[in-house]
Chain A
Amino acid sequence: MSKGNQVLEEITSKEYEHGWNVNLEADEAPMGLNEGTVRFISAKKGEPEWLLEWRLKAFRLWEKMKEPTWPNVSYPAIDYQNIIYYSAPKKKATLNSLDEVDPELVKTFEKLGISITEQKRLTGVAVDAVIDSVSVATTFKEKLGELGIIFCSFSEAVKEHPELIKKYLGSVVPMNDNYFAALNSAVFSDGSFCYIPKGVRCPMELSTYFRINAANTGQFERTLIVADEGSYVSYLEGCTAPMRDENQLHAAVVELYTMKDAEIKYSTVQNWYPGDKNGKGGIYNFVTKRGLCFGDHSKISWTQVETGSAITWKYPSCVLKGDYSVGEFYSVAVTNNYQQADTGTKMIHIGKNTRSRIVSKGISAGKSQNSYRGQVHVLKRASNARNHSQCDSLLMGDQCGAHTFPYIDVENNSARIEHEATTSKIGEDQIFYCLQRGIDEEAAVALIVNGYAKEVLNQLPMEFAVEAQKLLALTLEGSVG
């Protein structure tokens, strides 16, 4: 026990690797939020009138809404007037080529292990990099363009493809969906947009990297992915932030839309700054992610590895509207020190013969609290719906908590729903077996935790799986209770 705690101590005192910040000159909105802020952002981005109106409508709704209190997390009240809602690295108005990207920025991303210069690209991954609030570079655009795939920043999409944005913006997550979605709808600064045309299988992984850099800023990006009939895309999302003593707000919205026979696979490795080991600082990660399986036989699969953020509040969900559509949610959420995570999914079965699968692995260490919250809802006309959920929790140490809140609501008698949850710790016999084979305790824990999370990690594309495994090991090695 004591040895375990000692090792835990060592590991948890490891510094957050991505905690540096870069001196980039930024173009910021004045602090605080009012109609003026919304107009400022819209004007900065040179947006059309309809979008400004959309934002203002969202802002007025937000003003009337209340911050949700039902999640199993606690934090001091957020002062929404003490946040900068827009911060962009200063640069030329438009970039003609990637060579013109601010060299500091290129370095920033190189530190993250992502190259945005195509010469040194990650093999087979196209990247859209978002720093603070603004998309700074998108790689491989031309190559994708040949297939008719649109992959660009949200702002660019507003200018170049207004008909698509008008049609799909808010179609999956309406602006009044919840408090943070409304806030995002009012002040979102940028994000990624992606459209895969009919019958196209996107030949490479598409990826967005998010980085909060400036102080006192919130980040409010929006991602919208539309997969037309019979198309397929795999999308990766990664995020980091510098170490700062104050908490920073991240309230993003992700909307996925699949038509008949289309499939979107969306993977996230979330590694926002979690705060220090005393719980100081860290990102509040309040995110709304939802996919709509609109067409028959369509499929949306969410995979997430959540290791960062002081507080996580997110429920990547699937609305299974099309007959025979499929929703999946694979999640590993790790909390340590004073981190709090309330995460899970919703599977809403509307169409006939819809299927969903939930695999959630929670790991809590330190003084953290880790909650799974999920809903499986089978509506009246959704005959033959199938769901299987597995929610496991692993506790390390006796100071943390694991919580499971699954809601199962069935209105159709042909549904078959199965939910299982277990709570356990790493077995001493397992550790001993490893030790006896010459594996040290840290490696043994990493091994066992990775084994525990394997079902989820296996869902990640190669490029991410390695990173995710390293992250898990880094956060938890040796945390044997």
Chain B
Amino acid sequence: MSLKLKAMTGLKKKLLLPDMSTTTTRNINNEIVEAFHQSKFDVAKEYRNKALAFFEKTGLPAVKQEEYRFTPIAKSLEKNFDWSVIQSKSAIESIEEFLIPNLDANILVFVNGKYSESHSTIISPESEVKIKTLNAAFKTDSEVFAPYFDKILNPESDPFAAMNSALWQDGLLIHVPANTHVSKPIFILHLNDAGNSQVISQTKILGILEKGSQLSVIEKFDSRGTHSVFHNFSEEWIVKEKSHLEYCKVQNDAGKSYQVANTIIHQSDNSLLNTFTLTLNGELVRNNLNIIIDGENCESHFYGLYLLNGNTLGDNHTVVDHKKPNSFSNEMYKGIMDGNSKGVFNGKIFVRPHAQKTNAFQSNRNILVSDSATVNTKPQLEIWADDVKCSHGCTSGQLDEEALFYLRSRGIAEPIAKAMLLYAFASEVLTPIKNETLKSYLDNLIAERLQKNF
């Protein structure tokens, strides 16, 4: 292997060649492996080596692979990134503009893949929630996370998860003790500044909600600058018995950003989960959201909205895996595609043998606004238990002509009527969000986007 790698330094010029097919001499997988060998890691060496071994076996997914059929991410990475340069400096001084106004929350900030203590503010007492960087936690709290780390989110489940497990630079451990309600939400800002040069960020979060605890998390992804950003993000959330997690993700990257986010949430008996994912911007965004319902009487709502324009490719792959009886899941994802954008949705519902009395519902609805926007959707049900109620529905279309006529017949001009209907279509997914400050912030983001563009 090392022999091949030595030849690589001379290959950068070939980057400019139009033909980037796998037969070219450049091998991005080898470059990533080499980047691993060039990096110095303090902690988690065993985990990293194991993950790397797996990554070496599979490499990045080709488009031929079913799970990445519409998302040519390996090509994008090959074309836009130089893996021999990983660290890059940020020029950003104030993070004010990236925050959610008036949100009373703990603020945790990553800049270019590194946790920034100076930008972060923790207001909740340690008795409510323990927040540590992963690098630190590895030295002091290994007994807390060892049972879960790289186990719930198995690096072998996805090549990007494997890459992240091998190469993560920084991360957080968030630990909520039993029977504790964390009164203030945790707001995590992932900021990537490619004003000076390209940025490759690989970060990781492990969150544990012990029995009977409650937490609200808001993650926001922003990027700036004219150079390319690749953010490979992994997170695991363990939601134990009778716990309650509110999870919200906002992807609003203004820069030339490529992002893969692997989020896995593991639920035990009587737990409650609400997730909301909003995707607005970026060159390419791929979300893998996996919910494992490994307990009885769980409730899981996951909502998503992708409002895409320009050349953005927004790809949401979700899995809800019912492993135990008597639980409920409800998924609703909606998309509006404008410009040359491309929406991809794949939603899997698994109901394992013995997971009787499961109720699982899924809906995916899409509207194509422009002539060159596309959508590829694949809802998927796999059921091995008979006493269940499962359904999925998906649609692709335009606005309802009847509704449009009704509005116009009341004197509302066509473009405004359309914007109203689009907004109504989109905002339905905000219903489950309970934090009013967050809700009105998201509501404004959506309204602004739809008024501006339609």
Contacts and interface: CB of A to CB of B under 8 A. Distances in A.
* Contact flag (A, B; Cβ within 8 A): yes
Interface of A: 70, 393, 395-425, 481
Top 8 A-B pairs, shortest CB-CB distance: A413-B368, A395-B386, A416-B397, A423-B390, A404-B381, A481-B386, A422-B391, A417-B396
B375 interface: yes
Contacts of B428: none
B389 A423 contact: yes
Given A418-B393, A422-B390, A398 B356 contact: yes
A410 B356 contact: no
Interface of B: 66, 353-354, 356, 366, 368-371, 373-398
A201 B214 CA distance: 70
B381 A423 contact: yes
A421 B353 CA distance: 20
B390 A408 contact: no
Contact of A408 (B354, B373, B396): B396
A405 B387 contact: no
Contacts of A422: 390-391
Contacts of B393: 418-421
B283 to A, nearest CB: 20
A70 B66 contact: yes
7 contacts: A403-B382, A413-B369, A417-B395, A419-B395, A421-B379, A423-B389, A423-B391
Contacts of B377: 408-409
B397 A406 contact: no
A353 B66 CA distance: 30
Contacts of B396: 408, 410, 415-417
A413 B378 contact: no
Given A398-B354, A404-B392, A410-B375, A417 B397 contact: yes
Nearest to A417: B396
Given A398-B387, A400-B384, A410-B366, A415 B379 contact: no
A419 B379 contact: yes
B381 A393 contact: yes
B378 A410 contact: no
A403 B379 CA distance: 11
A417 B374 CA distance: 13
Contact of B386 (A396, A409, A419): A396
Contacts of A481: 386-387
B381 A401 contact: no
B376 A403 contact: no
B133 to A, nearest CB: 42
Nearest to A407: B378
A386 B105 CA distance: 48
A425 B383 contact: no
B387 A421 contact: no
Contacts of A425: 386-388
B379 A406 contact: yes
Contacts of B368: 410, 412-413, 415
Contacts of B379: 404, 406, 419, 421
Contacts of B381: 393, 402-404, 421, 423
A416 B398 contact: yes
B344 to A, nearest CB: 10
A406 B387 contact: no
A58 B377 CA distance: 34
A347 to B, nearest CB: 13
A418 B354 CA distance: 31
A230 B196 CA distance: 67
A97 to B, nearest CB: 54
A61 to B, nearest CB: 20
Given A416-B396, A420-B391, A423-B388, A409 B383 contact: no
A417 B386 CA distance: 29
A391 to B, nearest CB: 9
A409 B369 CA distance: 15
A110 B120 CA distance: 84
Given A393-B383, A417-B394, A424-B388, 9 more contacts: A398-B353, A398-B354, A403-B382, A404-B379, A413-B369, A420-B392, A421-B393, A423-B390, A481-B386
A405 B380 contact: yes
B352 to A, nearest CB: 10
Nearest to A426: B386
Contacts of A419: 379, 392-395
A49 to B, nearest CB: 38
Contacts of A418: 393-395, 397
A430 to B, nearest CB: 14
